[in-house]
Amino acid sequence: MATIQIYDTTLRDGEQTPGVNLNNTEKLQIAKQLEKLGVDIIEAGFPITSEGDFKAVVDISAAIKNASVSGLARLKKADIDAVYEATKTAVNPRLHIFIATSDIHLKYKLKMTREVVLESIKHFCAYGRNLFPNVEFSPEDATRTDKEYLAEVIEAAIKAGANVINVPDTVGFTNPVEFGNLFKYLKMNVPSFNKAIFSCHCHDDLGMAVANSLAAVENGALQVESTINGIGERAGNAALEEVALALYTRKDYYKHEINLNLSQIKSTSQLVSQLTGLVIAKNKSVVGANVFSHESGIHQDGVLKEPTTYEIIDPALVGVTANRLVIGKHSGRHAFVEHMRELGYELDENQKDTLFKEFKKLTDTKKEISDEDLHALLAEQTVKDELPYDVNRLQLIVNSEEKIQKAEIKIKDPDGNILEAKAEGAGSIEAIYKAIDEAFEIKTSLKDYSIQAVTNGPDALANVRVEIECNGKMFFGVGISQDVLEASARAYVYALGKATQASKKS
């Protein structure tokens, strides 16, 4: 069987999700987890866009040893040079260059003729191939591009040096039959088709990204571009975990192998959810909380007798374990570190010490510690390491008669200074957030607030996510605590910490 290469673009297209703004520590943590998952290529970013993006690609290139690292570039020398500089320490660097080819993009966005675009493709594919062992070319908006012209530009790109051709459904416009037929057409009308690996990059605007990706595989694609949890621009991208499990579970039909370590699916999904602030829907395929739950009596009876009656995926295959006591109050540091390793986390010495202390604090108040608690604990600690604003004191006074609540907050900033303020509000969250705004002395607007229990039971950790707008930019924050108000304060402080750092840089 041929092997389908999995190209992960969580750190590039996925980070373009509205409200998602990952810092370098978070990006590196996700990249290392993607390496454990076994993805073939990690698209680490778009280096020319900012200093931060460039540095993130540099750091990821240096850290990743078992996957190719790719950087995105327009057909511009400066863009390509930036990718070269950012990925030159990578084990297997890849240049991913793109330009729009549909008439609507040529006319209204690029204001270029087909001929000019064609010559540009030839020139920059050749330039890129002189610098990189692998050059991937994407004709943006391919599914709305004239087929004859699409075949012409792809042939030109391959002849000029591109050895990977990605066919993007940029706006999620196509359907599986059309997309499959497009690959058939290209196979017949691109003379050099067999001299390159063909790939697909599908968006989910009409809910068909995964189906379209699989249709491409059926018709000659040997690489699939996707993101963890399907995050990305607008409605997102094809979900990596869904594509992977479809290829694995229906190997009898698709007749292709994948290189992924599927037992890392759940850990990777949860990590990306925690660090991006995007909640996984309970009914989400493969990784949702309800995937292995059975309400119907008939289903329950069948599963108890033989799991495969209603479960086509073995939960253990994707790293799903029962919500059980894994380690507790009397567990030692070694047992804790070993269990974190089993969950997919390789901790450095500082992380081992810090996280073990936080774990011990949690065992003093929470009777049972689950894997989900540990995932959440690590995600929040990553936040603290990068943005060390600490809620030192939170006090709330409730006056039920006057329907006014008073909040007092003390926050330690990265320099060790104490920021403190008091404020009143009609509710506890309003009072707390007003006080935090005053302490930071920064103007923000709260756009979203959500709370979710990490596990079941009255002693469950509360996972609060907030999204704020500051100076026209969106920032999210996450806070974990058994106390809902403390978790809410931590999430808001995290978001304002990000906004403050961004304001200082600008």
Task: Write the DSSP assignment of 262-295 as a string of letters.
Answer: GGGHHHHHHHHHHHHT-PPPTT-TTTSTTTT---
Judged against a pLDDT cut of 70, whether residue 344 lies above it is answered with no
Helix axes 265-276, 371-386, angle to 10 degrees: 40
Say what the pLDDT of residue 442 is.
85
Instruction: Please say whether the beta carbons of 191 and 154 come within 8 A.
Output: no
Residue range 259-282, pLDDT digits in tens? 999 999 988 998 898 888 888 888
pLDDT digits (tens, 9 = 90+) for 354-376: 889 888 888 887 777 877 788 77
Residue, of 73 and 457, whose pLDDT is higher: 73
Which SS3 state, helix, strand or coil, does residue 35 take?
helix
What is the average per-residue pLDDT within 123-143?
98
CA atoms of 405 and 424, how far apart (whole Å): 6
* Of the candidates 456, 450, 457, 412, the residue with the CA atom closest to the CA atom of residue 429: 450
Q: Pairing mode, if any, of strands 445-453 and 462-470?
A: antiparallel
pLDDT band at 419 (very low <50, low <70, confident <90, very high): very high
- The C-alpha torsion from 23 through 28 and 33 to 36, rounded to 10°, is 170
pLDDT of residue 425: 92
**Residue pLDDT, tens place only, 45-54:** 999 999 999 9
Residue 139 has pLDDT above 70, yes or no: yes
- pLDDT for 304: 59
306 vs 471: which has the higher pLDDT: 471
Residue 426 · residue 399 · CB < 8 Å: no
Query: Regarding the domain delimited by 2-276, which CATH topology (the fold level of the hierarchy) does it fall under?
Result: TIM Barrel (3.20.20)
Coil, helix or strand for 54?
helix
Top mean pLDDT of 138-142, 306-310, 380-384, 392-396 is at: 138-142
pLDDT of residue 323: 45
The whole-number pLDDT of residue 506 equals: 63
Q: Please identify, in words, the CATH class of the domain defined by 387-505.
A: alpha beta
Give the three-class secondary structure for 258. Answer: strand
pLDDT category at 498 given cuts 50, 70, 90 is confident
Q: Which residues, 6 or more positions from 72, have their beta carbon under 8 angstroms from its beta carbon? A: 12, 43, 45, 46, 47, 83, 96, 97, 98
> Per-residue pLDDT tens for 10-45?
999 999 987 787 888 889 989 999 999 999 999 999
**Max Cα distance, the chain (Å):** 80
The whole-chain average pLDDT of the chain stands at 90
Q: In the block, which residue shows the tokens 């950012």?
A: 86
- pLDDT (tens digit per residue) in 43-84: 999 999 999 999 999 999 999 999 999 999 999 999 999 999
For residue range 285-335, list pLDDT tens digits in order: 998 877 776 545 555 566 456 777 767 778 778 877 654 445 777 788 888
Burial of 325 (0-12, 13-18, 19+ CB in 10 A): exposed
Q: Which pLDDT does position 301 carry in this prediction?
A: 60
Q: What angle do CA 407, 408, 414 make, to 5 degrees?
A: 130
